[in-house]
Structure formats: structure tokens, C-alpha cells
Amino acid sequence: MTDVTTTAVTGSQPEVAPRKHRHNVALWLSVGWLFLVIASAVLAPWLGFLDDPQKPLAGQPEEGPGWSHWFGTDQLGRDMFARSVWGGRLSLSIAGPAVGIGIVVGGVLGVVAGYFGRWIDLGVSSVVNVALALPALVFALFIVTMLGQSYINVTIAVTILTIPAIARIARAQALRFAAREFVTVAGMMGARWPRLLFREVLPNVVPALASIAFLAMGIVIIAEGSLSFIGVSVGSPSITWGNILAAGKGRLEDAPHIALITGGVMFVTLMALNFVGDEMLRRLDVREARI
Amino acid sequence: MAGFLRVSKLARWRWLALFCALALVASACGGGNDDDDAGGGVAAEATAAPETPSGGDGDDAPAPSGDGDDGAEPSAGDDSDQDAAAPEDTSDATEAEAPEAPEAALEPQYGGTLVVGLEAETTNGLNPVNAQAAVSGHILFRALYDTLTIEGPGGEAVPNLLESITSNDDFSEWTMTLRPGITFHDGTPADSAALKRHFDEQAKGTLTGITVSDWEVQSTDIVDDLTIKMTLAKPFAPLPNFLTSHLGYFGAPSMHDLGAEGVARNPIGTGPFMLEEWIPNEVTRMVRNPDYWRTDAEGRQLPYLDAVEFRPIPDTDGRFAALRAGDLDASSVNTGIRIDEYNEEFKTYWQPEEYNETTYLLLNNSRPPYDNAEFRRALAQCTDRHTFNTIRWDGQVPATGPFSPGTPGYLEDSGFPAYDPGAGSATIARLGITSAQIGTTNDPANLLNTELIASMWRDCGLGVDITQVDQAAFITNAVIGNFTAFLWRQHESFDVGAERIWWHSKFGQAAIALNFGRIDNPTIDEALDEALTTKDLDRRRELAEQINRSFAEQAHYIWFYHSNWLFATHDHVHGVDNLTLPDGVEHHRVFGGRVFLTETWIEQ
Amino acid sequence: MLRFMGMRMAQLAVVVLAVTLLFYWMLNLLPGNPCVAAFGGAATQEQIAECERDRNLGDPVIVQWAKWGGDVLTGDFGKSYLTGRSFGEAINHALPRTLLLLAYSQILALGAAIPLGLYTGYKQNSVGDKITSGGAFALLSTPVFVLGLVLILVFAVRLDWFDLSGYQPISAGLVAHFKVMFLPAVTLAAGLLPVYLRLLRTDVIGTLQEDFVGTARAKGLPVRHVLIRHVLRPSSFTLLTIFGIQAAQAVNGAIVVEFLFDLDGVGSLLVAWVAAREFLLVQTLVALIAAVFVTVTTFVDLLYSVLDPRIRRK
């Protein structure tokens, strides 16, 4: 799966390159980084050079970054590089399904609302508007505390967060294309709504949604990180980026590498996701799509 | 831009976008499944469950009411360090150990507000009947109320607010006499009627009631204005030792008239300070009680301070930073990580070595798999306590039981199973037990401690789940037995007889129980029962040793380290935990980290 | 106009009712007696009975919900059984700090976004524009808690310019107050700034192409004058709108920032109540927040159409 990503991107390079060289380099770097993060997350159990992320005293406690422990060690002497990789693994395995489901559910809601309009639109838009006015983190907190801090429940909570935002964008896209000439013409030629929706509107909305998936991914990673940070995401001994930051928070003064390096990994990953997402939106000329 | 793109390119981008998105989603899903398959326990699980505390630092702690002590929670720091760092041995520690010496030369000054950092807010407010006071709570209560008795020399409680407390020969009839002329904050007299009411109210408390009912009080008679006589159905020698904490915080009848909730916000005691305002989780502010009954050794009216502000700062590092920055004048500390820094930068009042609390893994002896003694012993063998203490507590020699060195009952070798993972894993395999659960709070330090233990057990082939519970819930979970195992800090063991409510099987049966681990051990019961009938120190020591060995033999709990408390102040603060007892007796200072601010003053 | 407003309010009412009813129903599915849990396990029978009465636990879910709604509408917001603190008391304590935090962060974010937005819009594609936009992009990719940790490390721990001692009211002195509030406000503002900045920049670019701006410039008015009088003014409506939308976002941020800086505001209150399973209080508070936000955004929309004639005509 992952190589499809790279191949596709590589394939398109020559065409785009002449225009915006700088953007291209950044895009390359972003895609490369994402590939690295995703590949290490997927392959973590089979990477021989990775320490066991749970093994105490792999080094002295709170060792700084060095040759034997690239990212240093935490308070228990566990290897921080391994923990960052495994943290990314869990963070991504929450964000992936959350965004996937969010795109499907939000996309359907938005497209249906945008295409059919009237009371369906009114209903969907009302819910979406109010949902966007709610502090989403509280809602996620509420769900996780009530249902329990498990992988599934955290994923459910963050999935619910993505739906309204994605629905709003899908609706805007559907509205935009529903009014386009080719749809109107097809309608006049006697095509019925399923055909119009699936053959004419949907194919135009999907690419925008796909690029939005990158932006949504970033948002979900931040949301899960926030939950972890305040101590209500997936419980120990599971490792997420947010858990690592929360554990390192108290040791900022004496062992800043614990929180800062993982924070840095998170930051670069989010940059890359946002960059790829933005760039795709720009090339597809999608507006009103910022989440 | 749109015009610039040719159609083919647009189409290509569409597909690219789609693939990218799918790739991300798919790989991430894969990741999730792998986690579960790996079985190594990375998978997320978390149900709401029990848990507990303790960790390197601050939380809310312990325990419930009752008596000679309370609860839980561990923290960090000590022995080896302590030997190195603590006052007795090092030059810089002079102030710490002998605060009185230099101070005697200084004339106390009146006035000023002392700002004190505490480890936790006190759950349920300032009602001594149902508060769950940790050390931080006891410091508050000691400012608002005087205790009826106080820990004195030689393991005996001595009268404090009481003028005397005596019993008949078999300890079944107790006569308590108050000092004359003492009034509560609202001006009402602290007399025998108030004292009788006090015990009546304590008997109604959910947790204090458990303790009082154990006394089997048959009658409480008012003998005269200041004296009551309590007749019990059985001998109860350690009774005075129960009056040094919750049961000893003497509140006014007018306070009890307010009802439980009213009391929580309107405590009325006889103490040196009166509550001005209480903003939970932020500040408890008290002002001087102008009619306080006590004077210092020179006959000067107490207290010296105009006001005290207590600020709960659960984060140990945050509290240290606030003290260093001068935002706090003083701070209550239980941590091993910064012993040297505290000793170097501040005046440190250390708890003496004996009667230190013990941090241990509290096991629910009534719940599988922890109800199996063989399994518990195997777990003890799988727990590398030396490494644990090295990483998390500055290398103290692992505790051998609930009694710290110097405390009657301490044994250098109690027979507690030594670290032997080979034997431990063999036993676990033979028993066919494949998984166990440990709880923790969300506090990062507690979590790390628990993860460390879990990883040791996993090395023995046991699958370990960690469940996390909110700080506020963990004592409750202990009380109602809704837990499997968690780190806990408790047991000063000033008088082994007073520990009965925590260890005797009699207190482990009910739904709400103070014998949190639901220990049911006849040897321990027997020793605790005998302790009710004797004040003989040697016999009490023997009984304590018997209990200690039995604990080790059954591995009811897994002992880690003894933690001693510290009260750190800036140089301008004097007279911490000085208490002039009219009879000239010295009380046991900084007992369990609790301090009196009665004679504390600020140098302006 | 009134009809539009009425519609929005009706939508809001229906959705808030539906969501709270759903919550009530979910709460009802939880095992255990919420009143036993509410006291932390150690309560007398009378206390539990009183709590059950207060919460109408004997009634069917829909009746409980209706009674809750009635209580909230009549200003009876309930109380925490664990601490004995009433909803109002808790809010009185927490709200000022959160409002101050939000206000400071908005001031900082707008204070930086307006000049930068005008500049980058006017000098499109200049080096300054590119640097600013890059910075905004980086900020947008920085989780609040990561930025907060870095700021704490650098400015509070290493440089020791600011305090981490928890909230200090203005009455404790302006210096003490800002020593505590500045970093949290910056942290929160950093999340808002790029959103405002990007929006304003796009808006400015659009407005600069309009006829009236060209006219103003042709008349020889100074650039600064044109930018502020003719460009910023119409853009302020856009800012107003986004301000409303970002408010909910800001509360998310406030939860994390309050946690990080130990400020004990509304966000902390929500987290504490959720942790203590005080779901009814959480529900009441969230319903109130939602109502306030939707009202504010509706009002902003309204203001927008009243103030900008171009919109009204459309």
C-alpha cells in the first residue's frame, strides 16, 4: 500500500517540477517523511534494530540522545527511539481508521445534503453547525470516560470529531458541482439522480475528500494527543505520542529530551500531512476546504 | 490555477490523492491490528477499574479516617540518600535536625502570612468525620483543630488538648479530662458535653464509625464539666493512639449541628487558626484565632502568625518550583528525587527515621489471582525490588515489611521472598495463571512505577494489564475493594495495636472495609487482638514481629520502600512543628509529615 | 432577517435538546447508581437518598431529562456532591480565568494577525510574505501541548521569566498576574494566529483588487491610510465571523492550556467533572457553552449582513 503512494508521487514529479521547484522539494521531503513514519509504524515489530519499547534499563534512566539510544531513554531507562516509533504506530492506527470512517460518513452526509438540498440539507447542516460549535475535546473526553479508555473507544471518540468538519466540506463541494454545466446537462438529458450523483458529482468530490484526509489525519493526531496528554486516551502500557509527552512533562527541566524529541517528531509529521494536504488541494483547486 | 491544469493531470491527481488516502488508512489499520496480535500488551485496553496511587509524588491520598494513620501513597525517596543527605549526617543539615537550637536565641515575631504548598486537596472538605485526609489534610486539620492526644516519646500517645487520659487496669474503661477554659472558634466552651457529642458524631461517620464501633463502647458518661468516662465491652489499650488524628480533631457541637456538608465548609475547632475561605483546589486560607488557649514556653500568646494560606499543588516538580521561586514559604514534600536539592536550598524538617510510612503494592487478597498465596509469593520473587528502588527511589534497600528501621516490629530479614525470577516464573507456569491486572492513577510518576512492575512480571511470563483510574477515585476503590493491585503508601505503625483496622480480618469482610487488601490471616488477627490488652513495649514489639513474619510468609503485599516526609521552608520561617505541651513533654516531630504551625513565625 | 435569526435559534434549540436527551439516555445505560458514585463511595443513606431525589432517579429517562431542562432554564444548575460546591460557585471561580485567558489570547492573535495580514496581503509573494506564511504554516502544524511545553521549558524553566505557580488574580498585582497568564495566552494565541492571518491575507488580496481601493489609491492617499480605512474595514467582518467559529476551537485549546499551566478554569472544571463522573454537571455546562456559541455566531452573522451592504443585497 505504502509504495503505491510513493510510486504515484514519483510518477507525477516531472510534470510539476518545472513550475514550482521549491514546493516540489518540500513535497518530496513531506512524502518521504510520511513514508518513513508509516513504514516504521507498520514494520515496528519486525525491525530488528529497534529495542523493546517496554524494556526498562535498556540504558541508564534519563540518558540523553546518543549513539546507543538515538533519542535517549526515559525515566525507566527505556529506549525513546523505540517508544517514539511504537507511539507513532498506535497514534496512526487510531488516526487512520478514524479518518477513513470520518471521510466515508462525513462525505456521504455532506454530499447527500449538498446534492439534494431542502430539508435534508437543513437537517444535516443544523447538526453540523451545532457540532462545530461544541468544544469537541470535551465531547471526546466525555465519550472516553464514559465508555472506558480503550483503543476502540478512543477511535470512536475522535472519529465523531472528524465527521462534522468533513461533512461541511463535502457539502460545499457537492453544491459546487451539482450546479455545474455537465451535471445540469446530464440532468436535462434524462439521467436520474443515482446516476448523476454517482457518476457526475461523486467523482468530483472524492479527490477533494482524499486530500482533506491528510489534513483530517493531522487534526485527529492532535486530538488523540490532547486526550493522551490530559490522561484520558488509550491506557498504559500502550504507547502513544501524547502519552510520551505527558510522561515527559514533569521532567522538562532535567530530561527535556523525553518530551521534546517526541514533540518534534509529532510536529514534523503534522507539517508533512498538512503540506501534502494543502498542496493537493491547491493543485485540485479546491477552495473552502480548510478544516 | 484550474485553467493551468490539463484534464489528464487533474485526473491523475485525483487518483493520486485517493491512493494516498487509502494507503494511509490501510497502513494505519494494519498497525492497529498488529498491536493486538503482538500480544505484548501494547494493545489498548482499559476498563474502568480500580486503582491506586502512589507514585513518586503527589496525589491525593490516602486514607480514610480513622486513626492512627492514614493512607496511602508513595513517593519517593530515601534511605541511602537519606543517610547521605539527611540532616543528621551532613554538615549542611544542621538546621534541619535541630531547628530549635538556633531559634531559641531568636525572639519570635508576630504577624505575617505563611503560604504553604501541599500535596493534595482534601477530599470531602474540612469535616473531620468524613474527610479523607492525607498528610496535606492533617496539616490543615492541625491548624484548625487541636488533637486530643499526640504522639509522644516511646510509642505512647500523650495528652494534647486533653489534660489527661487514663484507663482502668484492663484498658476497658477510659477517663478523659479536658483542660479548663478552652473555647471553640465560635466562643462555645470545649467541655465534656462537647466531647461526648464529638465521639457520638465520629461513631456515625462511614469510616470513622468503623473504628469507633470496634471499641464496643457501652456507655459514655459525663462525669463533670470537663470529664467523660467511656466504658468499653473489651480491653482497648491503643485507644489514645487513635486520638492523634481524625478521631482526635475535636469540633464544636455547633459545628456538627450544621450537618455533614455544612461542616465541610465551616469547621469550628479550638485550633490556633480559623477558616476564612476555602476554594477547592486553589487555596485554604485561615486567620489567627485571637482567643487561642495555648502560650509558648515563655508564656507568649500563640499563634504568632496572622494568617496561613495552604495551596494544593499536586505536581511535585511544580511545588518545588513554586517554593524555589518564593511563591511558597514552605512546602510539604515526600520525594526522593530531590533530597539533595531540598537540603541545599532550604531549611528542611525531616521526619525521623522510625515510624516511616511504607510504600508497597497493595494486593486484593480476596480477588483471583491475588487470592492465591503461592501466586503472591511467586510475584514477590518476580519483582526486582532492588532495581525498582534504584530507578525510582534512590536505591534504598528494599523494605522487609510494614515497619521501617527503628520502628518496633522491624526485622532485617522477615523472610520475605527474595528476587528469584526463575523460581517465580516456574510457579506461575505451574499454577497456570496467565494474566493479572495492576491499577494506577493517571499521575505520570505512578504510571511509570506501575509500568516498571508490570514489565518485571511480564518477564516472568505473566500477561499484565494496567488500568488507570482518576486520582479522586482510588481511595474509594480501595475502601470498597474495587481493585486488584496497586501501589499504596501507609502505616507509620506508631502502635501496632492501632494498625488493627487495616490488617485484622474483622475489618475486611464488609463492602466498605479499611482492611483494603481483605487480608484474612489468623496469625495476624491473633497478634492484633493481643495487642489490645497490653501496653508492654517488649510484648508489643514481639507481636509486631510476629505480624511482620506472617506478612512475609503469606506475601499479602509486596513491600518496596519506606518514605519519610519532609517539611521544607525558606530561611525566614521558624518554629515549624514546635508544640509546647503544658506538661513539658516533647511530641514526636514531623510525625508522618504532619506539622503544627501553632508556634511558627516569620522573620520580617 | 428576523426570520433567519429565528430559524437559527430554532435549529439550535432542537439540536441541543436532542443531544442532551441522547446523553441522558447514554448515562442511563451506565452500570451502578450514579448517586453512590457521586459521593466517592462513602456516603450515608440519607445523602444518597437526597441525591436520588435531586436527580429524579426514580423517574423514566425522558422525565428526568425534562426535569433537568426545567431546572437549567430556571437557573438551578445543580451541584457537585463530592465537594458540595454548587455549579454556580464553581463557574464563578473558573469562568473569569478562562475568559481572561481567551481574551488575552484573542488580543495577542489579532494584534499580530492584523498588521501581518495587511502586510502580507499588500506585499504578496515578497520575502516577508513567504517567511510569514511559512511561519503560520508551521504554527498550524504545532499541537498546543507541544508548543506549550517548549515555551515552558525556554521561558519559565530556563530563563525563569514567567511563573508556573497556578493562577494569580489581577488583584494580586498586574505583574504577578501576567507572569502567570502570559505564556498560556501566547500558547493559545499561537493556534489562532495562523487561521486569522491566512484569512485576512486572502481577504486583503481580494479587496485590493476592488474598484474603490483603486480609486482611493488613484486619489493619492497614503498606502497606510488606504490599507486601514479601505481594506481593513471590510475585512473586519470576515474576522468577526471567523472569530465566532474559532471560539469553540479556543475552548478545546483552553482545556489543554489550562491543564498544562495549572490554571483551574472552565476547561479544568470540565476535565475534573468528567473524571469525577459528574456527567450531569458536564452536560449542563456543555449545553450552556453550546448555546452561548451558537447565539454568538448567529449574532455575528446577523451583524455581518447588517453592516456590509454588499451581503445584504445578495
Range in B67-76, C145-154, C270-279 with the lowest mean pLDDT: B67-76
Higher pLDDT, B269 or B441: B269
* CB-nearest partner of C42 from B204, B265, B479: B479
Rounded to the nearest integer, the mean pLDDT of chain C is 78
- Residue B513, pLDDT > 80, answer yes
Question: Which residues in chain A have their CB less than 8 angstroms from residue C143's CB?
Answer: 221-222, 225-226, 263, 266-267, 270
CA distance A52 to chain C (A): 25
Question: What confidence score (pLDDT) does residue C310 get?
Answer: 53
Across C32-54, average pLDDT = 69
For residues B528-536, average pLDDT: 92
* Percent over 90 (pLDDT), chain B: 51
Supply C75's cell numbers.
437557573
Higher-confidence position of B301 and C38 = B301
Comparing C-alpha atoms, which of B360, B435, B443, B350 is closest to residue B86? B350
Chains near C (3 or more Cβ pairs under 8 Å)? A, B
pLDDT of residue C65: 84
Residues within 8 A of B (CB atoms), C 5-64 only: 40-44, 47
CB of A235 within 8 Å of a chain C CB? The answer is no
Q: Give the Cα separation of B122 and B136 in Å (integer).
A: 7
Question: Chain A closest CA to C115's CA: distance in Å?
Answer: 22
B364-390 pLDDT per residue, tens: 999 989 999 999 999 999 999 999 998
Dist. CA B137–CA B64, nearest whole Å:
11
Interface contact B325-C165, CB threshold 8 A: yes
Residue C282 above 70 pLDDT?
Answer: yes
- The single-letter DSSP state of residue B273 is E
In angstroms, the CA B76 to CA C219 distance is: 75
Cβ–Cβ below 8 Å for A92 and B31 = yes
Q: What is the pLDDT of residue C274?
A: 77
For residue B64, give the chain C residue with the closest CA: C42
C242 touches chain A (CB under 8 A): no
Whether B431 shows a pLDDT value over 70: the answer reads yes
Whole-number percent of chain B with pLDDT over 70: 81
Q: Is B130 in contact with C166 (Cβ distance < 8 A)?
A: no
pLDDT at res. B95: 38
Give the closest residue to C170 by CA, choosing from C81, C223, C117, C103: C103
Contact check, Cβ <8 Å, C271/A230: yes
Q: Which tens digit of pLDDT belongs to each residue from B338-369? A: 777 888 889 999 888 888 889 999 999 999 89
d(CA B365, CA B362): 9
pLDDT tens digits along C87-100: 888 888 888 888 89
Is the Cβ of B2 closer than 8 Å to some Cβ of chain A? yes
Query: CA angle A45-A48-A49, nearest 5°?
Result: 115
CB contact under 8 A, B455 and A148: no
For the cut 60, the answer to whether the pLDDT of residue B452 exceeds it is yes
Q: How many Cβ atoms are within 10 Å of A195's Cβ, its own excluded? A: 12
Task: Pull the grid cell for residue B142.
Answer: 492541625
* CA distances to B7, C16, C65, C288 from C10, in Å: 45, 10, 19, 16
Looking at CA atoms only, how far is residue C220 from chain A in angstroms? 35
Q: For the segment A50-92, what is each residue's pLDDT rounded down to a tens digit?
A: 888 888 888 888 888 888 888 988 888 899 999 999 999 999 9
CA dihedral sign, ordered A198, A201, A203, A208: negative
B497 within 8 A of B76, measured Cβ to Cβ: no
Neighbouring CB atoms inside 10 A of A33's CB total 18
- pTM of structure: 0.78
- Tens digit of each residue's pLDDT (9 = 90 or more) over C156-200: 878 878 877 677 788 878 888 888 899 999 999 998 888 888 888
Task: State how far residue B279 is from chain C, nearest Cα, in angstroms.
Answer: 8
Mutate to test the interface with A, among B5, B9, B13, B36 (most CBs of A within 10 A): B13
- The beta strands (E) that lie in B40-184 are given as 113-118, 149-151, 157-159, 162-167, 173-178
Q: C268 to chain A: nearest residue by CA?
A: A230
Is the CB of C10 inside 8 Å of chain A's CB atoms?
no
Cα of B225 to nearest chain C Cα, Å: 32
Mean pLDDT of B477-489: 86
Give per-residue pLDDT as tens, B126-139: 888 877 778 889 99
* B43 at A interface, C-beta within 8 A: yes
Residue ranges, chain A, pLDDT below 50: 1-19, 289-291
Q: Which residue has the cell 481593513?
A: C232
pLDDT number for residue C41: 54
Give how far A162 is from chain C: nearest CA, Å.
13
DSSP-derived secondary structure letter, A196: I
Distance between CA atoms of C184 and B209, rounded to whole angstroms? 46
Determine the residue among B10, B35, B393 to mutate to test chain A binding: the one whose Cβ has the most chain A Cβ atoms within 10 Å. B35
Which residues of chain C neighbour A137 with C-beta distances below 8 Å? 251-252, 255-256
CB contact under 8 A, C145 and A127: no
| Cα separation, C137 vs C139, whole angstroms | 5
State the chains in contact with B (3 or more Cβ–Cβ pairs under 8 Å).
Answer: A, C
In eight-state DSSP terms, residue C153 is I
Tell me how far apart the alpha carbons of residues B534 and A36 are, in angstroms, rounded to a whole number. 72
So what's the pLDDT on residue B471?
66
Interface pTM, i.e. ipTM: 0.80
Residue with cell 469525577: C276
Chain A within 8 Å of C67 (Cβ-Cβ)?
A: no
Q: What percent of chain C shows pLDDT beyond 70?
A: 83
**Residue B239 near residue B270 (C-beta atoms within 8 A):** no
The burial class, CB within 10 Å (0-12 / 13-18 / 19+), for B215 is: buried
- Banded model confidence at residue B175, pLDDT cuts 50, 70, 90: very high
**What is d(CA B571, CA B227) in angstroms, rounded to the nearest whole number?**
43
* Dihedral over Cα of A59, A60, A62, A67: its sign: negative
SS3 state at C244 = helix
* Mutation for A interface: B15, B25, B59, B324, most A CBs within 10 A: B25
pLDDT (tens digit per residue) in B55-83: 333 333 333 333 333 333 333 333 333 33
Give me the mean pLDDT over the B435-461 stretch: 88
Mean of pLDDT values over B294-313: 91
- Min Cα–Cα distance to chain A from C141, Å: 5
More confident residue, B237 or B34: B237
